[in-house]
Structure 1
Amino acid sequence: MILGGELSNSAATNIADIDSSISKAAKTGINTVLVPAQWDLIEPTEGTFDFSLIDETINIARKNNIKVIFLWFGAWKNSMSCYAPMWFKEDTKRFPRAITDKGRKMEIASAFSENVFQADNTAFTSLIRHIKKIDPQKETVIMIQVENEIGMLESARDYSEIANKEYSKGIWRKELNQIGFHTEGKLYEDEAFQAIYYAKYVERLAKNAKQIHNIPLYVNAAMNSRGRKPGEYPSAGPLAHLSKIWKAYAPSIDMMSPDIYDAGFKEWAKKYDFKNNRLFIPESKCCANSGVRALYVFGEHHALGYSTFSIDTAEKEAIENLQGSFSLLRQLYPIMTHNNKKDIHGVLFDKTDNQRIIKDDNITITCRHYFTLPWDKRATNGQEWQEGGGIIIKLAKNDYLIAGNGIVVSFLNNNEILQNKEEKLGEDGFIINGRNDDSSRKNSSQFKGKRTGIGYVDEVTIKADGKIEYLRRLNGDEDHQGRHVRISVGERKILHVKLYEY
């Protein structure tokens, strides 16, 4: 599992900053640091390369016993060509810019220019050769990101002269038909056209790189959120709705990965967990919810990795939450590796999305946000709920591990589900208001069959060999006298739960 942290953009631009920022990041509990590799600092003069910052990054990572993923800030970073060197930026005739439909030149190198590609490719392949030379066995540098959040802004596509020539040829329409890609409206048709050429550009970079050093490569995307249209978001990037294009025309790329900063974390993650695309989240907002989100993606999507952005400048609360969840994940890893994936589930809750039902053979597992319990004042004080979540792992029949922060889990068998009448309970666990007569008892049918109970709940740790080690038993108030299993918001625990029938 990649338990990652990405440095802020300028944290690796000199030796002193690299030493301090990576050492600081390593203390947060990550096992992998994501670090920009900037074209302008690597090739300040055309044809002359300086890899001193790359070398220092690898050296300090090794000292801190963590891995490195380099992020190629080449022709594009967040759509713009802001990390291209000055000799590239100033020569707009040789290295043309993209133009909007209004004729506005952008600081976005045109993906249709062969000169742009050759310059970018020369620098990128030089970086790959250097990495292979100093880390040939991929012991430290485990993966590389190709460009950063590629996409066209202000227009859905590039309207430069060279782009328009390709558009007018119409070959791209046939290519879309060949892969069975269909879209509606000119705006999205323009985006599809642009996506083909971004993907082809990236494929050439990736294919050349892998011929030198066969290392995993991925691309990341800024999400098309908040109802924005192509060009309002970075159009034509490796977005989920364009996955058919990117997978067809950039087959050397191993993963399309989402950078998730907006609301709806679960839905964005789901979009990038599809056939031949393992979920890897290279950037996510570093906040108080980061820890439970990490647990969720590894549990529900069996993700390759999860990383938060700007870990070197993150607030203390965010780091503590991330550290706690990464610690749980490290413990769970040997068990998750050897368990059947269908027996592992991730849950993530907020105030509006606060319950999930999991069916496991004869058992119905009901998972809820901790604040759905009636006695925690934080649930009703008007504040936004901190997210709760975790991982549920079935070890065997009636035998589960539950790990997380801010969740409540209860168990019913099928017989109970058919006959169950749920009452609203008060904070003492009993019916809120008593009845003046026993009419409900007279009219109720007799319960038949067996029920499922909680035999015990143990707080545990897990050793490196996967052995579960007992810490303490929680069979009293902590599990509400056998009614449920719970982990409070702000706690991070692993609980071993054994059920029985009576």
Structure 2
Amino acid sequence: MTLRTALAATSILATALAFAAPAQADVPRLETKGDTKQLIVGGKPVLMIAGELSNSASSSADYMAPHWKRLKDMNLDTVITPVSWELIEPVEGQFDWSSVDSQIKAARANNLKLVVLWFGAWKNSMSTYVPAWIKRDQQRFPRAAMPNGQSVEILSTFGGDTLQADQRAYAALLAHIKAVDAAQNTVLMVQVENEIGMLPVARDYSAAASAAFREPVPTDLVNYLVAHKDTLVPAMKRVWVERGARTSGTWEDLFGAGDTSAEIFAAWHYARFADQLAAAGKAAYPLPMYVNVALNRPGRIPGEYPSGGPLPHLLDVWKAGAPHLDFLAPDIYFPNFVEIVNGYKRPDNVLFIPEAHNSDNPIAPANAFYAIGQLDAIGFGPFSIDSIDENPGALKDAYGVLQQLKPYILDAQGTDRMVGFKPRQLYDETLVAEPETRDVGPYRFTISYVDAPKPGANPGAEERKAANAAVAAAGGIIIQTSPEEYLIAGQGITVTFKPRADGGALAGIDSAWEGHYDAAGKWVPGRLLNGDQTHQGRHIRLFPGQWQIQRVKLYTYK
């Protein structure tokens, strides 16, 4: 960092502090619980059962007016919503908060919370949500460039004025949220930029970027690689270690020639930009902050996907370069959901999924149950939630079950008393639906997916397609509530059980009640299912297409 840049950054932080009112006691925060973290709001843990608005929805209060109540009626409690730079600062230095205030007001009126997406310098790689005064002044706000020198509609990370302007706007936004919302905590978190990454090549080839690419790799990145050598993600470890785990040299010296080093270089500078933006925002109002990622398809090269974002193979670069970010979040539109989310659940990264397929995708509910139950996700939100709020399908019912279970989920997070499950799919949509086992308390549970094709069966193509679709949408959660009592929720599953400790013992069903929790959190029992519905005490079955809860008590016998 040059002296000029350092002084400018100091000035931006000072401006942010000037915006800030006296510190508040109950700023939403992440707090460790067991082996995970929870979002704490008003002194209590929160689970965000969410949906993300389509990109332009929040730009119009009139468009959004009928949607807020419908979203609440869908059993959402959190709306993930954009705030774009061009709307809040249409003239440099003059801020218009009407698009922010209308959303906060409407969310409060419908007892909803907000996660704000900052559409600042970048949105889906491009710089199309910046104000016109940014777009039209390429001298002050330089663009990234192709190898032939042609600029693209992506702001360069090497624009000092770009960083300062983005910091000023972002700090002003956080200060405004604090001024109007610190007492109510309607806004829970903020996403810094959106799906950062370079297109259609691996890195920026502007003169400033190319000069930086010839310089030594920053010591902060090298020191992180050395300190975390044993736990680096395999792709990063392989790239660095196979070249001798060098601790000094250029990007190509440490990471090789070509797109590999170019992408790591891009990732570092995107991470540093996002980190300085987050630092300015936190100085104004220290809400939890994160960056999301547009994932890469197998077989594609950097630039064919947004190069340099917080992708699975670049997580270590982002962790080193952006310490002010609280976590990194995957946007998932690929079938291999289970594989992807497990890569983002790390000791240094709490799991939050702001976009997980479109909202009308039938596997979205099962994905929510898996991420929350198995990986302690603090929230889940499929995309374009406003597009289905008149016809919510299964998502409304699944979210209704999660709302009922929320106190038990929050109590079990960070412990071994809760598991989630769903059939695994590969990237090519191959369905892996063999029975799975989970250990919870004194029992081992085996989960089978209802209507999965039987071994040796030979259904027709259409029957197989329909059966696979039904199985892919199955999923559930098991929560231990006392030594022998469990909540089993989901759809399309059959659950059997046996004691873990004594190989000669068997497990039986003391009682299995269907039912629900009312608005006050009181259990309202339905039928007692100790006969045919449990196959005479042999299993718990939650039928396909009906998201439900059963309250089960087991016992051991010989």
Specify the TM-score bucket, using the shorter chain as the normaliser: 0.7 to 0.9
Q: 2:335 matched to 1:259?
A: no
Higher relative contact order (CA 8 A, sep 6+): 2
How does the TM-score come out when normalised to structure 1?
0.88
Aligned to 1:337: 410
Q: 2:267 matched to 1:191?
A: no
Aligned to 1:323: 396
For 2:469, give the aligned amino acid: W
For 2:484, give the aligned amino acid: N
1:382–1:316 CA distance, 2 compared to 1 (3 A)? farther
Distance in 2 between the 1:101 and 1:21 partners?
45
Distance in 2 between the 1:103 and 1:56 partners?
43
Aligned to 1:179: 224
Q: 2:99 matched to 1:53?
A: yes
Q: In terms of Rg, which structure is larger?
A: 1
- Within a 5 Å distance, the mapping from 1:102-501 to structure 2 comes to 102-137=148-183, 139-172=185-218, 174-180=219-225, 182=237, 183=239, 185-186=256-257, 187-285=259-357, 286=359, 287-314=361-388, 319-339=392-412, 341-349=415-423, 351-360=431-440, 363-372=443-452, 380-383=463-466, 384-386=468-470, 387-413=473-499, 449-462=504-517, 468-500=523-555, 501=557
Q: Structure 1 residues 142-151 or 12-21, which shifts more?
A: 12-21
State the shift of 1:108 in Å. 0.4
State the shift of 1:360 in Å. 4.3
Q: Is the CA contact 2:84–2:119 (under 8 Å) kept in the aligned structure 1?
A: yes
Deviations 1:148-184 (A, max 9, x none): 0011111111111111111112243x44322116525
Deviations 1:348-385 (A, max 9, x none): 1264234211234663311011113879x999554232
For 1:455, give the aligned amino acid: D
1:138–1:117 CA distance, 2 compared to 1 (3 A)? farther
Q: Is the CA contact 2:71–2:389 (under 8 Å) kept in the aligned structure 1?
A: no
Tell me the secondary structure at the aligned position of residue 196 of structure 2: coil
Instruction: Name the count of aligned residue pairs.
Output: 468
Aligned residues with identical type, % of pairs? 39
For 2:108, give the aligned amino acid: R
Tell me the secondary structure at the aligned position of residue 277 of structure 2: helix
Distance in 2 between the 1:103 and 1:263 partners?
38
State the shift of 1:188 in Å. 1.8
Q: Is the CA contact 1:98–1:159 (under 8 Å) kept in the aligned structure 2?
A: yes
State the shift of 1:236 in Å. 1.0
Q: Is the CA contact 1:349–1:368 (under 8 Å) kept in the aligned structure 2?
A: no
Aligned to 2:137: 91
In structure 2, stretches of 5+ residues that fail to align are 1-46, 226-235, 240-254, 425-430
Q: Is the CA contact 2:442–2:483 (under 8 Å) kept in the aligned structure 1?
A: no
Distance in 1 between the 2:112 and 2:78 partners?
5
Tell me the secondary structure at the aligned position of residue 175 of structure 2: helix
Deviations 1:292-330 (A, max 9, x none): 21111110011110011111112766x232221221112
Distance in 2 between the 1:145 and 1:415 partners?
46
Tell me the secondary structure at the aligned position of residue 4 of structure 1: strand
State the shift of 1:415 in Å. 8.9
How does the TM-score come out when normalised to structure 2?
0.79
- Within a 5 Å distance, the mapping from 1:42-81 to structure 2 comes to 42-81=88-127
- Segments ≥4 residues shifted beyond 4 Å: 377-381, 463-467
For 2:421, give the aligned amino acid: V
For 1:194, give the aligned amino acid: A
Distance in 2 between the 1:368 and 1:380 partners?
19
Tell me the secondary structure at the aligned position of residue 309 of structure 1: coil
In structure 1, stretches of 5+ residues that fail to align are 419-448
For 1:202, give the aligned amino acid: A
Q: Structure 1 residues 43-52 or 450-459, which shifts more?
A: 450-459
Distance in 2 between the 1:189 and 1:21 partners?
45
For 2:223, give the aligned amino acid: Q
1:360–1:294 CA distance, 2 compared to 1 (3 A)? closer
Q: Is the CA contact 1:12–1:35 (under 8 Å) kept in the aligned structure 2?
A: yes
State the shift of 1:106 in Å. 1.2
Q: Is the CA contact 2:221–2:321 (under 8 Å) kept in the aligned structure 1?
A: no
Across the aligned residues of Structure 1 and Structure 2, the Cα RMSD in angstroms comes to 2.4
Q: Is the CA contact 1:11–1:21 (under 8 Å) kept in the aligned structure 2?
A: no
Deviations 1:186-243 (A, max 9, x none): 3221111111111111111111111111111111001122332221111111223222
For 2:101, give the aligned amino acid: D
Q: Is the CA contact 1:23–1:60 (under 8 Å) kept in the aligned structure 2?
A: no
